């Protein structure tokens, strides 16, 4: 039961941060491209990468913190379901270039985030 509570708290914090970042991006960047989703997916990938490669592989993090950060916080922060909806919406509205850009940037930058974290902790 404690593990569920740990994930719950992490997801609440991650989800709240996602809202704040998405709101900031919507007010300060293009309304035609979902920059908020891109930003939170990149941040979540960086954090997950640092946790896995910087701490977990070196035995510096316990299972409770992995639950809190990896499943809770990063799960609440990142937005694959939102990404999927936003991409579908762009496709439905024949914004094929923006949909392709959204898919490409989200996939490549999140992989880049994991890679950068991996390089940084090595």
What is the enclosing helix (H) or strand (E) of 11?
Answer: helix 2-28
Sequence-ordered list of residues with C-beta below 8 angstroms from that of 45, at least 6 positions apart, any chain: 78, 109, 110, 111, 112, 113, 114, 117
What pLDDT score does 12 carry?
98
Give the end-to-end CA distance of the chain in Å, rounded to a whole number.
Answer: 35
79 pLDDT exceeds 90? no
Q: Could you give the CA distance from residue 121 to residue 6 in angstroms, rounded to a whole number?
A: 26
56 pLDDT exceeds 90? no
Question: What residues does each domain of the chain span?
Answer: 2-121
Query: pLDDT tens digit string along 16-51?
Result: 999 999 999 999 997 789 999 999 999 999 999 998
- Look at the pTM and tell me if it is higher than 0.85: no
């Amino acid at each position: 039961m404690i593990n569920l509570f740990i994930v719950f708290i992490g997801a609440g914090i991650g989800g709240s941060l996602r809202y704040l970042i998405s709101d900031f991006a919507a007010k300060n960047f293009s309304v035609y491209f979902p920059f908020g989703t891109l930003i939170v997916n990149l941040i979540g990938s960086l954090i997950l990468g640092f946790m896995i490669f910087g701490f977990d592989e070196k035995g510096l993090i316990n299972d409770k913190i992995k639950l809190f950060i990896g499943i809770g916080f990063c799960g609440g922060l990142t937005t694959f379901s939102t990404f999927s909806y936003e991409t579908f919406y762009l496709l439905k509205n024949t914004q094929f270039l923006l949909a392709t850009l959204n898919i490409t940037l989200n996939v490549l930058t999140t992989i880049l985030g994991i890679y950068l974290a991996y390089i940084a902790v090595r």
